Amino acid sequence: MTSIDLFRHLIPLNALSEESLGEVVRRAAIESVRAGQTVFREGDTDHDSIYLLSGGMLLRSRELGSERLVDAGSDAARYALAQLKPRQSSGVVKRDATIARIDSSLLDRLITLEQSAQAGGIEVVEFDQSADSDWMMTLLRQETFQQLPAANISALFARFEPVDVKAGQVIIKQGDRGDHYYVIREGRANVSRKADSGKVAMLGELNAGQGFGEEALLAGAPRNATVMMLTSGVLMRLGADDFNALLKAPLVRTVTLAQARELAKAGAGLLDVRTEDEFRQGSIKGSVNLPLYLLRMKAPQLDASRKFVALCETGSRSTAAAFLLAERGLDVYVLAGGLSTLPRGGS
């Protein structure tokens, strides 16, 4: 029996097309666990769907005072174990077992795409294993794509255009007009920025599955950095109109000044994404300066459990900042109209 045959009868994997099922199986983590080992605990909030492929698992709930044995091959084993989160029971191996861990969000998005297509005739890009679909699966796992309607995702994959690139090739240049959004399908690139003094600073490296070029499209401003390929590879390119309609519109959330104040009172952080010089001229009390060009580098230092409101002069740069931070799983709002709408002398 092939590995895909082990998964074909599981629920809801049995609702997937052969291509999508193949992608899920290829990315599943298969583990051998010994009797007595605890696989998960009551109250866990992980993002895994865990299936029992062989052996036996005892599900114990302290809160309910119950125990239930699940044997591989049984009807109960067709479903993910203790799937509700927080988990309602602990899973202890009764007999040596084999389990599969599957990314729940990835599975859910694939099912949503296929069932939406069946219900509404949406064009769906098949995940052909003969092609390199890693970049697609990486996008589907990202927080940004988790928030998009299935129809938008289908349209995005249909409209991305492949572009072959060479090592040393400059893809976007600081100061140029923004016209496309890019995702790296194959290869690596670096991001640099030239200061007014002429000094060039390296801001980071981009790898397969990562996107770039959105700042200029979101802010309606010139490119604020240069991206050059470190290796040869393939980029997936999306035009500005498609980017704005399919990505920007569903994701960027604005708030009024009154709403921003309420969010701040509730503990939200205020991020002023203007330059250091602009920030020194004044900002909303309690805000922290995180210039847009440093956002990729500094984003990992932000508390992902906290809400944020992004600020700039007119709302353009803060729109770009909110999108970039949403890509990294943060909950971010944009102050509508920016700081220019504040009453004179107000904060």
| 27 and 66 inside one domain | yes
pLDDT, tens digit, for every residue of 111-144?
665 654 444 433 444 444 434 566 777 777 776 6
| 76 and 145 inside one domain | no
| 193 and 228 inside one domain | yes
pLDDT of residue 271: 94
**In contact, 101 and 49? CB cutoff 8 Å:** yes
| 66 and 26 inside one domain | yes
Q: What CA–CA distances, in Å, run from 253 to 125, 246, 250, 263, 331?
A: 28, 14, 8, 13, 10
Q: Please count the CA atoms within 13 angstroms of the CA of 148 that sit on its side-chain side.
A: 28
The CATH code of the domain that includes 179 is: 2.60.120.10
User: What domain range includes position 83?
Assistant: 3-106
User: How much is the mean pLDDT over the chain?
Assistant: 84
The helix (H) or strand (E) run that includes residue 277 is helix 276-280
| 243 and 138 inside one domain | yes
| 177 and 159 inside one domain | yes
Lookup result for tokens 């801001």? 203
Most confident of 117-121, 193-197, 204-208: 204-208
**Domain endpoint, select from 210, 228, 247:** 247
**Domain endpoint, select from 247, 277, 302:** 247
pLDDT, tens digit, for every residue of 250-264?
777 889 989 999 999
Mark residue 94 as left, alpha or beta (left: phi above 0; alpha: psi -120 to 50; beta: remaining).
alpha
pLDDT, tens digit, for every residue of 262-288?
999 999 999 999 888 888 878 888 999
Residues 6+ apart with CB under 8 A from 302: 269, 308, 325, 330
